[in-house]
A and B are shown apart, each in its own frame.
Chain A
């Protein structure tokens, strides 16, 4: 029947109809993956049938369709077509159908349920769906070695292009250990920099990267200035962070999205406990306190545990923040208790310090903290595993994770350098729109410190080990967490927030149940939510954190 049926069945790797396929795990359809959808080849037929059912439902219930079109139905994870279709089918299914054992009484009108499906299994004559895996126009055919890449940024001036080229060449010589060449390239770049506009665009970003490379080449021992603990003072860090918060929407998006998810997770609970992995000035919490105050049915008892570095000058800055938040909570009639946990590093925190009690609903909130645990020392267990381990034992209702959407933890220096050049160029670009001073200037210093850490630090000093969502998904999945999807309602509210408070060019995107915020189609920060997978070994099917707390003492 089909002219290409024979062509498609040859050489297919997703052959569900072949006799050999029984032991092979079902593969994701590669072509649909290229279109952004995750559907297993073995599920295709089933998904197609559900699509048909949904279409029939839409056709037969035009009133419900128009309600669906104008309603605020929440959608989740559109990449998974099957589950998306099912969630919509349930919208059409909600009118109760008559029980099948009722006698056929006259006068009973059958409600507007779904008309019987018109699909006859035998009729499902789709074309052979085994697609030829032909999309590999490989690098080999173009004769290009895979690691030879060129960063292209759209710049007008030749000097700008030359600068990027020199940066790449310099980074490559650093990777190869050719430090005298690298050094002379630094000189070249610095003189070129004098001919370029360094107040904006590529000139500004290049300046910071040249600086970071210089530190790496000339003063590696001083690199500790921008990494490790006890370097820049906690006060300075908080100040820069606060200005970064004001100058651009990344942190506001993070707080807003996390708070929404936490609020939803706390629904129905009277005792709630938020553990903030990096309190800073507590900027995230006034909004949550106010939202809880306005909650239908009244606010819960809120406990907040804020983790932060110890203050060297005798002040207890954590307690000061706690007092201010308590004052706010009092003013809106929310019962509130604060506890500060001072720790130089997150891995130094032990769960007993958090004093979680078994009756409360716990939310763990990590804003740009988990990546700092990815450095590994062969002499100790990986800090990330230790921390994720005790989080899981707390069995939080939700864990909100905000991370940079970047791949800055690759082993090869050149790869890290290239990625970060592109990432921070985009971030600086977005900052151009900010007109607030000194917020903008201090925000730039905040970002500059990150750049320095990524480029000029190594080992335990390199804390900015950013990894993209895909890697976090895998890591958190392996550590026993499952995603709580952020839906179209969170997406819509984040988008609205942006239009109110930020310049045009920022965009929120949905990424398989997570949200990202980026600048002009380049995601820069991701927000996701997680929950511990129930422990199969425990008789109750839940992780018994109470028992484990005793052991930890």
Chain B
């Protein structure tokens, strides 16, 4: 056990900058303490340890934010954008993309006001000249499937109905869905619901999205424990999110698997799927891309061979800049 651990620690050290390694290792070890073997979660300690930042209506580097709470559902969204004139809609000539972002955390961790995600969203705003609305969806294990998807859908409807988010000559809200890890999974399912309800979503951005299945794939076995993530912890989070007694072929985690639903013929948004080459979940993410292709849906795969999970938290590597450029081109196709 100690022997293989030695190999594990040395491998991840070699591929990420030191401060990134410290950041992600810190999360990894803290999360180990928060997950209890009986499937419960130490929520108070999790909230204590999570570094949060308040919204700030005073622009920092040109980006400001505010929080909105839905009075009926209690759902909190944090909206971030650049300087804005209050009275007009965003723009009557230019299209300003509105990205609805679902933070990661394997359905259990983090919040819209977690420092890592607030900072990431601010960078998105600056680089893509977009408005970002980060959704504080209900988390597992206290709130299992389908709560996160329901909250995503509520957020989408809210965003679509804000007149002050409209832009362009057609005066509508130009919405994209995005998310990392569990957030990517949520983005997919909300997009399906939107397509079925004929609510227009212009694109999906899935950043190493969280998918799984019953069988163990080659990448899971090969990369288990090597780059911050283990199969064991992935299993724990799925047990915490899926309905009790369910297995990993449930359509929530395996949308194109044996119990999956075909989305062929559905007006599904174009997708940008980003896969980190050192993520053990990649075989499932690649299967997802294949599933989209088989259903005749437009999808672009961005495969970052040397990237680990969480490469986008700190802008200290090429993958980060590559990702941002791709996202920018994706949401601003005519620029």
Interface of A toward B, CB cutoff 8 Å: 1, 3-4, 7-8, 29, 31-32, 34-37, 39, 41, 44-45, 47-48, 51-52, 54-56, 58-60, 65-66, 68-70, 75, 78-79, 81, 85, 88, 115, 118-119, 123-129, 131-132, 134-139, 141-142, 144, 146, 148-154, 161-162, 164-165, 418, 422, 488, 491-492, 495-496, 504-505, 507-510, 518, 520-523
Contact = CB atoms under 8 A, between A and B. Distances in A.
Nearest to B65: A152
A70 B44 CA distance: 12
Nearest to B45: A488
B59 A126 contact: no
Nearest to B113: A521
A58 B22 contact: no
B79 interface: yes
A196 B281 CA distance: 53
Nearest to A422: B57
Interface string B1-21: 110011001100111111101
Contacts of B16: 126-127
Contacts of B53: 36
Nearest to B9: A52
Interface in B57-87: 57-59, 61-64, 66-69, 74, 76, 78-79, 82-87
B316 A523 contact: no
Given A69-B42, A131-B314, A522 B67 contact: yes
Contacts of B68: 154
Contacts of B111: 521
Given A495-B44, A521-B67, 11 more contacts: A31-B316, A36-B114, A36-B116, A52-B25, A59-B1, A131-B316, A136-B61, A139-B62, A142-B83, A165-B86, A520-B67
A78 B49 contact: yes
A530 to B, nearest CB: 20
Contact of A4 (B35, B62, B317): B317
Contacts of A29: 19
A232 to B, nearest CB: 31
Contacts of B318: 3-4, 7
A164 B13 CA distance: 51
Contacts of B35: 69
A60 B78 contact: no
A79 B115 CA distance: 11
A492 B48 contact: yes
B127 interface: yes
Interface stretch (B26-34, B251-259, B270-278, B327-335): B26-34
Contacts of A85: 26, 29
Contacts of B34: 69
Contacts of A126: 13-14, 16-18, 21
Contacts of A124: 13
Contacts of B55: 521-522
16 contacts: A8-B17, A32-B22, A36-B51, A52-B25, A59-B2, A75-B48, A118-B2, A118-B6, A144-B82, A148-B83, A150-B57, A150-B83, A151-B57, A152-B79, A154-B66, A495-B44
A510 B18 contact: no
A18 to B, nearest CB: 15
Interface in B102-145: 111-116, 119, 123, 126-127, 136
Nearest to A519: B69
Nearest to A7: B318
B284 to A, nearest CB: 26
A48 B21 contact: yes
A135 B124 CA distance: 11
A390 to B, nearest CB: 34
A211 to B, nearest CB: 22
B52 A509 contact: yes
B37 interface: yes
A34 B6 CA distance: 30
Contacts of B116: 35-36
B61 A139 contact: yes
Contacts of B315: 31, 131-132, 134-135
Contacts of B48: 75, 78, 488, 491-492, 510
B94 interface: no
Nearest to B60: A139
Interface in B292-327: 306, 313-318
Contacts, number: 231
A547 to B, nearest CB: 42
A132 B114 CA distance: 23
| B34, B54, B85, B306, most chain A CB atoms within 10 A | B54
Given A139-B59, A491-B44, A128 B17 contact: yes
A142 B84 CA distance: 12
Contacts of B164: 161
A420 B61 CA distance: 22
B45 A153 contact: no
Nearest to B163: A158
Contacts of B74: 504-505
Nearest to A134: B315
Contacts of B36: 66, 69-70
Contacts of A134: 315
A518 B54 contact: yes
B235 interface: no
B10 A521 contact: no
B84 A48 contact: no
Nearest to A139: B62
B5 A56 contact: yes
A127 to B, nearest CB: 5
Contact of B14 (A81, A127, A492): A127
Contacts of B126: 137
B198 interface: no
A123 B74 CA distance: 50
A223 to B, nearest CB: 26
B231 interface: no
B57 A129 contact: no
Contacts of B79: 152, 154
B266 interface: no
Nearest to A115: B2
Interface string B237-275: 000000000000000000000000000000000000000
Given A127-B17, A510-B48, A51 B26 contact: yes
A132 B314 CA distance: 10
B196 interface: no
B66 A152 contact: yes
Contacts of B59: 139, 144, 146, 149
A505 B71 CA distance: 11
Contacts of A131: 17, 19, 314-316
Contacts of B47: 491, 495, 507-510
A60 B21 CA distance: 21
Contacts of A36: 51-53, 114-116
Nearest to B129: A142
A183 B83 CA distance: 28
